[in-house]
Amino acid sequence: MSRKREDEPQENLMDRLRALFGFQDPHNKNVLPPKARFSIWYFLIAVLAFSYMQQYFFSGKVETIPYSQFKQYVAQGNLASLSIGPEVISGTLKGASGQKFTTVRVNDPGLVKELDENKINYSGYFESQLVGTILSYIIPIGIFFLIWRFAMKKMGPGMGVMSFSKSKAKIFAETETKVTFADVAGIDEAKEELKEVVEFLQNPEKFQKLGGRIPKGVLLVGLPGTGKTLLAKAVAGEAKVTFFSISGSEFVEMFVGVGAARVRDLFSQAAAQAPCIIFIDELDALGKARGVNVFGGHDEREQTLNQLLVEMDGFETNKGVIIMAATNRPEILDPALLRPGRFDRQVLIDRPDINGREAILKIHSKHVVLDPDVDLRKIAGLTPGFVGADLANLVNESALLAARKNKETVGSTEFDEAIDRVVGGLEKKNRVMNSKEKEIVSFHESGHAIVAESVDHADPVHKVSIIPRGIAALGYTQQRPTEDRYLMTRSELLDRLAVLLGGRVAEELVFNEISTGAQNDLQRATDIVRSMVTEYGMSDRMGLVTYERARQPMFLPGNFSQSNTYSEEKAAQIDEEIAQFIEEAHQRVKKILSERRNILDELAHLLSEKESVQGEELRKMLSKFKLEMGN
Widest pairwise Cα distance in the chain? 138
578 CB burial (10 A radius; 0-12, 13-18, 19+): buried
Give yes or no for residue 503 binding Zn ion (CB under 5 A). yes
Contact present, 569 and 488 (Cβ < 8 Å): no
Of these residues, 174, 414, 439, 445, which one is catalytic? 445
Query: What is the smallest separation between the CB atom of 236 and ligand ADP, expressed in angstroms?
Result: 13
Coil, helix or strand for 343? coil
Dihedral of the CA atoms 110, 116, 120, 121 (nearest 10)?
A: 110
The three-state DSSP-derived secondary structure of 449-489 is HHHHHHCCCCCCEEEEECCCECCCCCCEEEECCCCCCCCCC
Question: What is the residue type of 170?
Answer: K
Region binding Zn ion by CB under 5 A among candidate stretches 7-15, 324-332, 499-507, 584-592: 499-507
Count CA atoms closer than 13 A to 123's CA, side-chain side: 7
Query: Residues 521, 525, 599, 621: which binds Zn ion (CB under 5 A)?
Result: 521
388 binds, among Mg ion, Zn ion, ligand ADP, none (CB under 5 to 8 A by kind): ligand ADP
In the complex, the residues that contact ligand ADP under the rule CB under 6 A are 184-187, 222, 224-230, 326, 360, 363, 388-389, 392
506 binds, among ligand ADP, Zn ion, Mg ion, none (CB under 5 to 8 A by kind): none
* Whether residue 609 lies in the annotated active site: no
Contact present, 431 and 491 (Cβ < 8 Å): no
Query: What is the smallest separation between the CB atom of 238 and Mg ion, expressed in angstroms?
Result: 18
Count CA atoms closer than 13 A to 11's CA, side-chain side: 9
503 binds, among Mg ion, Zn ion, ligand ADP, none (CB under 5 to 8 A by kind): Zn ion
Cβ distance to ligand ADP smaller for residue 247 or 465: 247
Give yes or no for residue 502 binding Zn ion (CB under 5 A). no
Cβ distance to Zn ion smaller for residue 390 or 521: 521
Cβ distance to Mg ion smaller for residue 229 or 608: 229
91 binds, among Zn ion, ligand ADP, Mg ion, none (CB under 5 to 8 A by kind): none
Region binding Zn ion by CB under 5 A among candidate stretches 267-275, 370-378, 516-524, 556-564: 516-524
Contact present, 354 and 384 (Cβ < 8 Å): yes
Query: What is the smallest separation between the CB atom of 575 and Mg ion, expressed in angstroms?
Result: 40
d(CA 237, CA 277): 10
The residue sitting closest to Mg ion, measured at its beta carbon, is 229
Closest listed residue to residue 614, CA positions, set 475, 465, 419, 481: 465
Query: What is the smallest separation between the CB atom of 339 and Mg ion, expressed in angstroms?
Result: 24
Contact present, 92 and 86 (Cβ < 8 Å): no
Give yes or no for residue 454 binding Mg ion (CB under 5 A). no
521 binds, among Mg ion, Zn ion, ligand ADP, none (CB under 5 to 8 A by kind): Zn ion
Q: Which residues, 6+ apart, have CB-to-CB distance to 336 below 8 Å?
A: 309, 342
Contact present, 269 and 171 (Cβ < 8 Å): yes
d(CA 265, CA 227): 27
Cβ distance to ligand ADP smaller for residue 88 or 389: 389
Cβ distance to ligand ADP smaller for residue 185 or 370: 185
Query: What is the smallest separation between the CB atom of 476 and ligand ADP, expressed in angstroms?
Result: 25
Query: What is the smallest separation between the CB atom of 448 and Zn ion, expressed in angstroms?
Result: 6
327 binds, among Mg ion, Zn ion, ligand ADP, none (CB under 5 to 8 A by kind): none
Q: How many CB atoms within 10 Å of residue 312?
A: 20
Write each residue from 211 to 230 as x if it is in contact with Mg ion (CB under 5 A), else as -, in one continuous string: ------------------x-
Dihedral of the CA atoms 356, 361, 367, 373 (nearest 10)?
A: -130
Contact present, 443 and 402 (Cβ < 8 Å): no
Cβ distance to Mg ion smaller for residue 124 or 224: 224
By annotation, the residues acting in catalysis are: 445
Residues near Mg ion (CB under 5 A) are: 229
